[in-house]
Amino acid sequence: MRSLELAEIYAPLQADLARVEERLKSRCKVGSPYLSELLEYSLRANGGKRLRPMLTLLSGKFYHYNLDLLLPMATAVEIMHTATLIHDDAIDKSAVRRGRTTVYKLWGEEKAVLLGDYLFAEAGSLTASTQNLRAIKLFAETLKAISSGELNQSFNAFNLKQSRADYIQRVVQKTAALFVLSTESGAALSQSPEEAIQVLVEYGYNLGIAFQIVDDVLDFVATEKELGKPVGADLVQGTLTLPAMFLLEKYPGNNPVREWFEKRDNPEDIRRAIEMVRDSSIPKECYQVAAEYSARACRNLNQLPPNPAREILLNLADYLLNRRS
């Protein structure tokens, strides 16, 4: 079976996703023209997949689909995601993301930090507007998890002594937590029974891990054009991801990742590490790990009521595993 394109997968919910897009646009209209400009630049459709709001909408499809609650929540998870990217770019001093110049590069670090703060608050405000205490509490816990994960990554930059369990734990905090917020809130806001919510939590959790592993492989094997940003960024930042861990295991002696992490004096090591990973079985092995998480994400979806959204969740998991960007 050929893989579906994202637009095909999204098609049944395209109209609702367009309403999320409208909500995002409406959040850009504020008193200050300076802030409006920043908001429009960062929230407008920009080649992002709008994956997290789609997960919220899909997770809301199994019981009482209520757009009055799901739209603000779906908008909130996308805004929260955007805020974390803006802070990440400021911290990493990244100039490009998704093929566009970053807020950090265009407006400077100060604006990027404050805009991120504003967007966290905006996302919190939208979440609060659902009046759902479960979603509200989960929102705050998710932001704690994400910033803990980022801090963890920062404290472990250029640290070679990290286990695969450390890596997975960080991925859960950095990435899977927000996937879980997206699915769990969608399920909770549509009055799903607890067992159904847990199936969607399991989906979000494992899909998030699979997603991040694929991201980390693409940082080695994709082209800059596909990524919309420079290749090898994780190694530049000293972030030890699964492909680099596998490379260290395969070549415990003289190893460009080890050289780079220990000395940080020769960027040629980064180029060599990328080449060695590409020429090895490591991408395939990483994809196998990702595929296991993806399968785990989907294994209990059949416990949900039969509904087209179930098929979409399956297709989405498949798509995310095979994506090139």
3-state DSSP assignment of residue 96: strand
Which lies closer to a copy of itself via its Cβ, residue 16 or residue 89?
89
Q: How far apart are CA 43 and CA 100, in angstroms?
A: 13
Q: Please, what is the minimum distance in Å from the beta carbon of residue 150 to a copy of itself?
A: 5
Exactly one of 11, 106, 140, 295 binds a copy of itself (CB under 8 A); which one?
140
- Exactly one of 41, 65, 118, 158 binds a copy of itself (CB under 8 A); that residue is 118
- To a copy of itself, the closest distance from the beta carbon of 103 in angstroms equals 12
* Interacting residues with a copy of itself between 17 and 46 (CB under 8 A): 30, 32, 34-35, 38
Q: Is 97 helix (H, G, I), strand (E, B) or coil?
A: strand
For 137-150, b/e burial (b = at least 16 CB within 10 A) is ebbeebbebbeebb
* Residue 168 makes contact with a copy of itself by CB under 8 A: no
CA 4 to CA 274: how far, in whole Å?
Answer: 29
Shortest gap between Cβ of 40 and a copy of itself (angstroms)?
14
Which residues are CB-neighbours of 202 under 8 A, at least 6 positions away?
A: 296, 297, 300
Per-residue tokens: 271? 């180029």
Q: What are the phi and psi torsion angles at 97 (to 5°)?
A: -150, 140
110, 194, 224, 268: which one binds a copy of itself (CB under 8 A): 110
For the chain, what is the radius of gyration of the CA atoms?
20
Alpha-carbon distance of 288 to 210, in angstroms, equals 10
Q: By rule CB under 8 A, what string of x and - marks binding of each residue 59-88 to a copy of itself?
A: ----------------------------x-
Check residue 97 for interaction with a copy of itself (CB under 8 A): no
Sites of contact with a copy of itself (CB under 8 A): 30, 32, 34-35, 38, 87, 90-91, 109-111, 113-118, 120-122, 124-125, 127-129, 131, 133, 136-137, 139-144, 146-148, 150-152, 154-155
